[in-house]
Amino acid sequence: MTQTQKQNISVALLTFSMVFSGTTYFVIRDLISSVDPVAIALYRFFLGLGFFGPIFDNQKNNLFDNWLDGMISGLFLWLFMVLQNIGLEFTTASNSSFLTGLFIIFVPIISAFLQSEKLSRLKILELFLSILGLWVITGGLQNKFWRYPFTLSSLSLCIL
C-alpha cells in the first residue's frame, strides 16, 4: 500500500469517526429518557470492548504490561461519559457538544501552563478560531451558555 493510499484511508476513517461521534449526542439524548446514564456508559464500554478486543488480542505485545495506566485512563473516560450523559438530561445535544469540544481549547492552555511554556501567536490564533468555530456551530448568539449544568462544564477537566 502506498503512502497516499494510507493517507486517504486515514482521512476517510477520521471523517467516519467524526461523523459517528457527532451523532452520539443526539442518540444518547433520546436514550437518556429511558436508560440510566451510568448504564449507557457501561454499554458503550462493552461495545468498545466487543469491537476492539479481538483486534488488540492478536497483537504481539502483552496488553497487561501497563494495566494500571489503562485503569486510570479508563476511570477518567468513564467519568467523562457519565457526566456527559447526566448533563444531556438538562441541556440540548448541541450545547453538550460545545462543552465537550472545549477540551480542544483547554488542553493547550493548561499544557502550556503546566510545562511553563509560552503560547505562540499561531497557537493563540488557533485557539481563537476553535472558540469561534464552536460558538458558531452551536448557535452563536442564540446560545444560552449560563444555563448549563455544572456536570457538563466539568467534562473538559475529565479529558485531561
pLDDT in tens, 38-87: 999 999 889 988 888 887 777 677 767 788 988 899 899 899 889 888 88
Check pLDDT > 60 for residue 126: yes
Question: Whole-angstrom Cα distance, residue 37 to residue 35?
Answer: 6
Does 51 or 99 have the greater pLDDT score? 51
Query: Residue 75's pLDDT is what?
Result: 92
pLDDT in tens, 140-149: 666 555 445 4
**pTM score, whole prediction:** 0.62
Q: Which long-range contacts (CB under 8 A, 24 or more apart) does 97-101 make?
A: 97/22, 97/25, 97/137, 97/138, 98/134, 98/135, 98/137, 98/138, 98/143, 99/148, 99/152, 99/153, 99/155, 99/156, 100/152, 100/155, 100/156, 101/130, 101/134
Check pLDDT > 60 for residue 88: yes
What's the mean pLDDT in 122-128? 84
Question: Whole-angstrom Cα distance, residue 147 to residue 158?
Answer: 21
Query: Do 37 and 86 touch, CB atoms closer than 8 A?
Result: yes
Check pLDDT > 80 for residue 108: yes
